[in-house]
Amino acid sequence: MLGAPPEAVAAIRARGGERCEFEVWPENWPSLQAFLACTTQWRTIPMAGGQVYYQGLDYASVSVALSGRGITSEPPLWADLQAMEGAARNRLNGVIESD
């Protein structure tokens, strides 16, 4: 499930696979679509015990993924992708951020 830790997947399945619904503002929709188009383009580093460290998105592959979906990568879109990448990387690596 998009690189989610196995325990997170198990927890979702234990709840009966509840759907998580949320609202996306129209001005953020293109950025979300672009990010979702790149979910398989992570650079990872294997760690001890079968763990994986998510280093970040492979930008060359991201460009190909976006182009293949007809998404133009304007500078504001890249800034949005990098913001989502940072948040996703922290979450995937188990880093809990405080507000």
In this structure, the chain runs to a length of 99
Give the mean pLDDT of the chain: 85
- For residue 45, is it within any domain? yes
Indicate the pTM of the whole model. 0.73
- For residue 5, is it within any domain? no
pLDDT for res 18: 60
- For residue 15, is it within any domain? no
Show the domain range for 63. Answer: 25-92
- For residue 97, is it within any domain? no
- For residue 64, is it within any domain? yes
d(CA 85, CA 89): 6
pLDDT for res 7: 76
Sequence-ordered alpha helix ranges (H) in the chain:
6-14, 29-37, 59-68, 75-92
The residue that leads in pLDDT, 74 or 62, is 62
Residue pair 12/5 in contact (Cβ under 8 Å)? The answer is no
- For residue 20, is it within any domain? no
- For residue 98, is it within any domain? no
Give Cα 97 distance to the centre of its chain. Answer: 16
Which residues make Cβ contacts (< 8 Å) with residue 12, sequence separation at least 6? Answer: 1, 18
Structural domain count, the chain: 1
User: What letter does residue 41 receive in the DSSP assignment?
Assistant: -
pLDDT for res 1: 45
Convert the pLDDT of each residue in 47-73 to its tens digit: 998 889 999 999 999 999 999 999 988
- For residue 59, is it within any domain? yes
